[in-house]
Structure 1
Amino acid sequence: MTASAPSGLSSVGIVGGSLAGLFHAVALTALGLDVDVWERSGGRPADRGAGIVLQPAVARFLREFCGVEPDRVTVPVTHRQYFAADGGVDVLPMRQQMISWGTIHQALRDALPAGRYHGGQPVTGLAHRPDGATVRVGGADRAVDLAILADGSGSRHRGLVAPAGAPRYAGYVAHRGVVDEADLPRELVARFDGRFSFWDGDRSQFLCYFIPGDHGAVAAGRRRLNWVWYARADRSELDRLTTDRHGVRHGLSLPPGLLDPRVGADLLARARATLPEPLRRLVEHTAEPFVQAILDAHADRMRDRRILLTGDAAFVVRPHTAAATEKAAAEALTLHRALREAPSTDAALRAWERLSLAEATAIHRQGVGLGRRLGLDSPEATG
């Protein structure tokens, strides 16, 4: 897809090389702009096997900007199944497609021209200038016409645009796990195949579904089963959950392979005491569970002159919405369209902020409402 941007806009610097940054990089490259992406971590940011429900904006982006047909890189779901406390199961038809973080990231990287993604190069400074911004990387300054902050919930430069938008802990965590299909008993695979599964407990929710395996493999036998278990945790409990087996505190998340054995034993004990049998067995077959704190962030603005906030750097939405990746893709599509159609760069950026802010605010409110209905929010943690 090719088009052109308004005159006077030629260079773009993007801070952050995860999905939000790459969506924008690919979309703006399609406008003929000179785009560079700087990512703090070296190599590809770890996806930890995260599963994602494919939504329309992501599907459109993959097809139109990456040349990737979504049906070829997703695992289809035909039904939802709801486990009850008494062991019963309700099954309802509902078609969806499931994808993995890694599959999307690889498609975006493949679509970005060589030499434009700079891993292991943190942006250490960012400042406004009259017609753009100055980005400091590796001790050198780079002038760009537009800077986009896509460096996630822990953005170090968010305050340049939205000083009051820092994330807050929502009072609960997501215990997560991914299991290779080949490592699961056949009867358990059959129980979850083609189904998006749910269980609602006391201030708790468990869900699971199949996602692509290594290198985006979607064939039976090569997929992975992704699960998430939401549970309340006050601040002291969060600290315990995210302190690794070596006593190192990680703050808001704990990667796979580092779980303290005592925390792992507690997770298994709770699974055996509360979860329906198929879900309990799934947790038991998970070699390396990990933990992520659920956060809220709500920016009151997404633009200051030629610096933009996007993705989790602007809004962190609850995962119950299944909309974080969709929101990032939609913001990139909106910016692409605005720059293509508006009479000037500044008019395009104003339109982008108005539309993106309204959509993100609605999704944020929806996610908070869903968390409250599930009884997950903790007033102590969110104060």
Structure 2
Amino acid sequence: MVVGGSIGGLTTALLLGRLGFDVEVFERTPTDLDGRGSGIVLHTETLRWFVECSDQHPETVSTATRFMQYLGPDNAVLYREPAPWSFTSWGTFHRALLADFGRDHYHLGECAAGFVQDPDGVEVQFASGRCERADLVVFADGIGSANRRHFSPEARLAYAGYVGWRGLVPERRLSAATFGLLHDAVTYCVAPNTHVPMYPIPSPEGGLAAGRRSMNYVWYRNVAEGDELDELMTDKHGVSVEVSLHPGQVQDRFIEEMRSAAAELLAPAVAEVVLRTEQPFLQAVYDVGARRMAAGRVALLGDAASTARPHPAAGTAKAAANAWALHDALAECADVTEALANWEPGQLELGQRLLHRAREMGARLQVDCTWVPGDPENKLGLYGEHD
């Protein structure tokens, strides 16, 4: 059983299926997941399912650029280097994984509320009243995992001191000059205590060619914890949330302030993309790390186990790496409990290394303002190298 039907959960389910498990996936969201247009930088681990196991080819779920660049005032190119990267949209990638897994064993609207286990299996109770038993249960239910407490009661979300404004704009809506400057690169715009990474991803309609894609970005802005953050993270209906506000939920007054600041602080091409975003959405940046990922026949995986700040662009890669390592551990050892015990140490270390790197990158960008373009310490990826 896999609890959580996102990218990490589906990758895990597919790989367990390869080992001969009958897999059921339970997702708490009652409707299909769509990722709200977020972009994903594709690393080897993320793409591995499509390279090795799927009839779908990586080129059908991704787009690519050839350069990494930094823009300054007046769109001056402060730094540029050849750096080929591939990207996808969250929705595009999730739909492709779900197409491979199928919907017959994918259950929406089921929130796992707890579990008990004995030497022979695990029983999971759902908020709906449903109760299911399995030989192995993997919790891949994201940053807000309610089940993390069973592994690490002390693990709590720690606010990073800043939020990420997100959005995407069809490339066809950009001016010719802006499209020409941005379409073939991962672009950074860095100013004191703020920065924006930006890159093209497949459009919601599936467009992959330059000019038919969407330009995706995250604009990080420092926001003090307390009243200032609480007000920002209160939606148009007065409901306060902790992690994210979806498109259409952010209060208009904050969107107006954000747009005004974009025109003042950002390179004109980057500001144009931000200003042309019809419905920007918002994510408060947190990190969290569990001290355990395995307990008997139960595993904790992906963001449910540890969530790093997004700067290395490696969250989905870590979840995929966890899933592949679990596959290998179970392939080598038929005893589930022993396999999970063998799997856990390396995956804990992987998560802690990524947490540490992401915090250091965030400090250089948002606090110390010591980020240097081209510094190898700033490379994207799960391991701090072009992977």
TM-score, normalised relative to structure 2: 0.90
Post-superposition CA distance 1:150-182 (Å, at most 9, x none): 111111111111212222111110011111223
Instruction: In structure 1, give the amino acid aligned to 2:12.
Output: H
Q: Which amino acid aligns with 1:35?
A: V
CA distance in 2 between partners of 1:255 and 1:376 (Å): 26
CA drift at 1:305: 0.8
- Does 1:286 find its partner at 2:257? no
Offset of 1:186 from its aligned partner? Answer: 2.7
Whole-Å Cα distance in 1 between the matches of residues 231 and 73 of structure 2?
A: 28
SS at match of 2:230: helix
Map Cα deviations across residues 228-263 of structure 1 (whole Å, 9 max, x no partner). 111111122222222223333223211011221110
**Match of 1:48, as an amino acid?**
R
Query: Partners in 1 of 2:75 and 2:42 — Cα distance?
Result: 29
Amino acid at match of 2:88: I
Match of residue 10 from structure 2 = 22
State whether structure 2 residue 89 is matched by structure 1 residue 100: yes
Deviation at 1:86, TM superposition (A): 6.1
CA distance in 1, matches of 2:367, 2:342: 36
Tell me the CA shift for residue 204 of structure 1.
0.8
- Partner residue, 1:192: 182
Task: Provide the rounded CA distance (Å) in 2 between the counterparts of 1:260 and 1:375.
Answer: 24
Match of 2:173 in 1: 183
Verify: 1:70 aligned to 2:58, yes or no.
Answer: yes
* Separation in structure 2 between the aligned mates of residue 333 and residue 177 of structure 1, nearest angstrom: 31
Q: Assess, with a 3 A threshold, how the Cα gap between structure 1 residues 343 and 46 changes in structure 2: closer, same or farther.
A: closer
Q: Please state whether the residue corresponding to 1:321 is helix, strand or coil.
A: coil
Residue 125 (structure 1) aligned with residue 114 (structure 2): yes
How far off its partner does 1:265 sit? 1.0
Distance 2:34 2:232 in 1: 20
Contact 1:78 1:194 in 2 (8 A): yes
Q: Which amino acid aligns with 1:202?
A: P
CA distance in structure 1 between the partners assigned to 2:198 and 2:103 by the alignment: 36
Aligned residues between the structures? 365
Partner letter of residue 201 of structure 2? I
2:222 to 208, 221, 232: 232
CA contact (8 A) 2:33 2:91 kept: no
1:221 offset after TM fit, Å? 3.1
User: How many angstroms apart in 2 are the aligned matches of 1:112 and 1:364?
Assistant: 30
Residue aligning to 1:109? 98
Aligned partners of 1:172 and 1:232 also within 8 Å: yes
Distance 2:209 2:30 in 1: 30
2:180 and 2:74 mapped to 1: Cα distance?
Answer: 21
Q: Distance in 1 between matches of 2:157 and 2:56?
A: 34
Task: Indicate whether 1:251 and 2:251 are aligned.
Answer: no
Stretches of structure 2 that go unaligned for 5 or more consecutive residues are: 369-387
Residue identity (%): 37
TM value normalised by structure 1: 0.91
Which residue does the alignment assign to 2:385?
A: none
The one-letter code of the counterpart of 2:299 is: L
- Of the three residues 335, 358, 368, the one matched with 2:349 is 358
Deviation at 1:98, TM superposition (A): 1.0
Matches within 5 A, 1:255-274: 255-274=246-265
What is the CA–CA distance in structure 1 between the aligned matches of 2:147 and 2:63, rounded to whole Å?
37
**One of 166, 171, 176 as aligned partner of 2:161:** 171
Would you say 1:48 and 2:36 are equivalent positions?
yes
Counterpart position of 2:337 = 346
Pairwise CA distance, 1:281: 1.1
Q: Please give the residue correspondences for 1:316-331 in structure 2 after superposition, counting only pairs within 5 Å.
A: 316-331=307-322
Q: 1:215 to 1:335 in 2, by over 3 A?
A: farther
Equivalent residue, structure 2, for 1:3: none
Q: In the alignment, does 2:150 pair up with 1:160? A: yes
Which 4+ runs in 1 deviate beyond 4 A?
A: none
Given that residues 75 and 269 in structure 2 are in contact (C-alpha distance below 8 angstroms), is that contact kept between their aligned partners in structure 1?
no
The 1:278–1:95 alpha-carbon spacing in structure 2 relative to 1, beyond 3 Å, is same
Contact 1:132 1:307 in 2 (8 A): no
TM superposition shift of 1:215: 4.5
- Say which of 66, 76, 81 aligns to 1:88: 76
1:329 shift after superposition: 0.5
CA RMSD of aligned residues (A): 1.6
